[in-house]
C-alpha cells in the first residue's frame, strides 16, 4: 500500500507544478541614441561629419550620417548630404544625394569597437569623387550631450529694449535659403550695405535651412528697414545684431538739440568735431558722413607731440555712429565712438622724411596710444550727456 501511495503522489506533484504561474518575461533591451564626431573620416577635405546611431542594447538598428564639407579648396562654399544607413554585419551602408548639387552619394562604413574604442573606416563617393578615411578611438556621446554641445544661440534680436548688446546700425534677418535671392533683390533698392560674408551659408545654416544675413544701415533708418524685411516671404526673423560699436564707448544725450527724429547732421558733426579738436589741441581737417551707414568720420591735424623739435604732423582719425538709444523714434540720441587712429607724417619742406608707422596699440618710442576715456568724458560734458556704467549696467 505504501508503494501505491508514492506512485499516486508523483503525478500529483507534476500536476501542481504545471499549474504554477510562470515568471515575468525577460525585458527587451532599451533603445538608445548615440552620436559620433566623424569629421576626420573624410581625409584632405574640410568637413563636419556626425553619425547618429540608434541601438537596441548593443545592436545597431539604424544610423544616419550627416556630412557638411567644402567641395573645393579654392572656395568657401559648403555642400551637405544626409544619408540613412542600414546596419548589417558590422557595416553601415546607404545612398542619397547632396543638398544643393543633387549629386549621387554612396556611403559604406565598417564599424568596429574592440575594447569599447570605436573605429570607423569609410568609403564615401560623391559624384565622381571618392573619399576614403579612418577615424580611430572615437567616443560616443548621448543625445542630450550632443544637443547641449551643438546648441546655437540666436544672433538676430527682433525687439531689443535698448541698443546695449546690439548695434543700431546693424540690421539682421534670418532667411530661408531659397529666399536669399528675394532678399537680395529687395536690398538692391535700399540705401543699405549687405555684408557679403553673411550671404555664404555655413554648415549650421545648411542644417537649419536658414541663414542670418547682416546689413549696415543708418541707425535713423534701421527700424524702417526691419519692417520692410519682415514683409518678405521666407524671412523668418528680422531685427538687429551686434556690430563693431560697443556701449562702453558711447555717450547718451537729448535729441532735442539736434533735430529730434530728423537728425541735424551738420549741427551734430560740428559739435563732435569742436569737442574733439579742443581735447586733442588740433584743428579740424575734414568731416564726412557715410550716407549708407550713417557713420561720421572726423580727421584732425596737430603738431606731433612726441617729437616736437622735428616738426612732424599728426593726423588723428575718429569714427562716430549716432543713432537712437532704442528701436524706433525716441527722445534720446547715442553717439558710439569707434576706431581712433593716429598717423605721423613729415609735411615740412622737401625733401620729406618717409616714416614707417607703428601699428596702432603697439606703442613704443614712435607710437601714440589714444585713450577713448577722455574723449567720452569731454563729449558727455559738452553734450550734457551720460556714459555707460558697466558695473551697474545703466547710463550714469
- Indicate if 382 and 354 belong to the same structural domain: yes
Q: Which of 91, 118, 149 is at the close of a domain?
A: 149
Nearest by Cα to 105 from 149, 147, 151, 65: 65
Give the pLDDT confidence of 323-373 residue by residue, as tens digits: 999 998 789 999 999 989 999 999 988 999 999 876 655 544 444 567 899
Number of domains, the chain: 3
CATH number of the domain enclosing 213? 3.30.70.260
CA torsion 172-176-177-183 (nearest 10°) is -50
Coil, helix or strand at residue 278? helix
C-alpha angle 243-248-253 in degrees, rounded to nearest 5: 100
Q: What pTM did the predictor assign?
A: 0.84
Q: Which of 240, 270, 302 is at the close of a domain?
A: 240
* Residue 311 structural domain: 247-395
Low-confidence ranges of the chain (pLDDT < 70): 1-28, 114-115, 358-369
Question: Quick one: pLDDT at residue 114?
Answer: 67
Q: Is residue 235 part of a domain?
A: yes
Contacts of 286 (CB under 8 A, 6+ apart): 297, 298, 299
- Indicate if 258 and 175 belong to the same structural domain: no
- Indicate if 96 and 179 belong to the same structural domain: no
Phi and psi torsions of 371, nearest 5°: -85, 125
Q: Which of 190, 211, 240 is at the close of a domain?
A: 240
- Indicate if 341 and 302 belong to the same structural domain: yes
- Indicate if 314 and 385 belong to the same structural domain: yes
- Indicate if 308 and 343 belong to the same structural domain: yes
Q: Is residue 158 part of a domain?
A: no
- Indicate if 262 and 388 belong to the same structural domain: yes
- Indicate if 377 and 257 belong to the same structural domain: yes
- Indicate if 214 and 270 belong to the same structural domain: no
CA 87, CA 111: separation in Å to the nearest integer?
Answer: 10
Q: Is residue 125 part of a domain?
A: yes
Question: Quick one: pLDDT at residue 338?
Answer: 94
Q: Is residue 13 part of a domain?
A: no
Nearest by Cα to 324 from 396, 227, 250, 231: 250
Question: Quick one: pLDDT at residue 152?
Answer: 86
Q: Is residue 342 part of a domain?
A: yes
Question: Quick one: pLDDT at residue 261?
Answer: 85
Instruction: Judge contact between 62 and 54, C-beta under 8 A.
Output: yes
Residue 364, by phi and psi: left (phi above 0), alpha (psi -120 to 50) or beta?
Answer: left
- Indicate if 259 and 209 belong to the same structural domain: no
Question: Quick one: pLDDT at residue 191?
Answer: 97
- Indicate if 216 and 253 belong to the same structural domain: no
Give the pLDDT confidence of 213-234 residue by residue, as tens digits: 999 999 999 999 999 999 999 9
Question: Quick one: pLDDT at residue 330?
Answer: 81
Q: Is residue 139 part of a domain?
A: yes
CA 341, CA 352: separation in Å to the nearest integer?
Answer: 22
Amino acid at each position: 500500500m505504501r508503494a501505491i501511495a508514492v506512485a499516486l503522489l508523483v503525478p500529483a506533484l507534476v500536476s501542481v507544478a504545471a499549474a504554477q504561474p510562470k515568471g515575468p518575461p525577460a525585458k527587451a533591451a532599451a533603445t538608445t541614441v548615440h552620436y559620433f564626431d566623424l569629421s576626420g573620416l573624410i581625409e584632405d577635405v574640410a568637413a563636419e561629419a556626425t553619425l547618429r546611431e540608434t541601438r537596441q542594447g548593443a545592436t545597431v538598428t539604424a544610423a544616419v550620417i550627416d556630412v557638411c564639407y567644402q567641395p573645393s579648396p579654392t572656395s568657401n562654399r559648403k555642400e551637405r548630404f544626409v544619408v540613412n544607413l542600414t546596419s548589417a554585419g558590422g557595416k553601415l551602408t546607404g545612398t542619397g544625394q547632396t543638398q544643393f548639387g543633387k549629386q549621387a552619394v554612396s556611403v559604406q562604413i565598417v564599424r568596429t569597437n574592440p575594447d569599447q574604442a570605436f573605429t570607423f573606416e569609410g568609403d564615401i563617393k560623391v559624384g565622381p569623387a571618392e573619399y576614403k578615411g579612418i577615424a580611430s578611438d572615437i567616443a560616443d556621446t548621448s543625445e542630450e550631450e550632443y544637443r547641449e554641445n551643438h546648441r546655437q544661440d540666436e544672433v538676430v534680436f527682433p525687439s531689443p529694449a535698448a541698443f546695449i548688446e546690439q548695434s543700431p546700425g546693424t540690421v539682421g534677418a534670418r532667411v530661408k535659403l531659397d529666399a536669399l535671392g528675394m532678399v537680395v533683390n529687395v536690398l538692391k533698392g535700399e540705401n543699405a550695405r549687405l555684408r557679403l560674408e553673411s550671404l555664404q551659408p555655413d554648415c549650421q545654416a545648411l542644417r537649419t535651412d536658414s541663414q542670418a544675413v547682416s546689413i549696415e544701415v543708418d541707425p535713423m533708418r534701421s527700424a524702417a528697414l526691419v519692417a520692410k524685411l519682415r514683409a518678405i516671404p521666407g524671412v523668418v526673423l528680422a531685427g538687429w545684431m551686434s556690430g563693431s560699436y560697443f556701449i562702453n564707448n558711447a555717450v547718451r544725450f537729448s535729441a532735442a538739440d539736434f533735430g529730434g527724429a530728423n537728425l541735424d547732421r551738420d549741427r551734430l558733426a560740428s559739435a563732435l568735431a569742436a569737442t574733439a579738436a579742443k581735447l586733442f589741441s588740433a584743428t579740424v581737417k575734414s568731416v564726412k558722413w557715410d550716407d549708407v551707414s550713417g557713420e561720421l568720420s572726423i580727421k584732425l591735424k596737430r603738431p606731433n607731440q612726441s617729437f616736437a623739435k622735428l616738426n612732424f604732423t599728426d593726423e588723428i582719425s575718429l569714427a562716430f555712429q549716432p543713432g537712437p538709444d532704442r528701436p524706433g523714434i525716441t527722445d534720446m540720441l547715442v553717439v558710439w565712438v569707434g576706431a581712433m587712429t593716429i598717423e605721423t607724417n613729415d609735411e615740412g619742406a622737401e625733401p620729406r622724411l618717409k616714416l614707417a608707422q607703428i601699428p596702432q596699440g603697439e606703442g613704443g618710442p614712435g607710437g601714440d596710444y589714444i585713450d577713448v576715456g577722455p574723449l567720452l568724458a569731454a563729449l558727455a560734458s559738452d553734450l550734457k550727456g551720460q556714459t555707460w556704467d558697466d558695473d551697474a549696467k545703466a547710463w550714469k
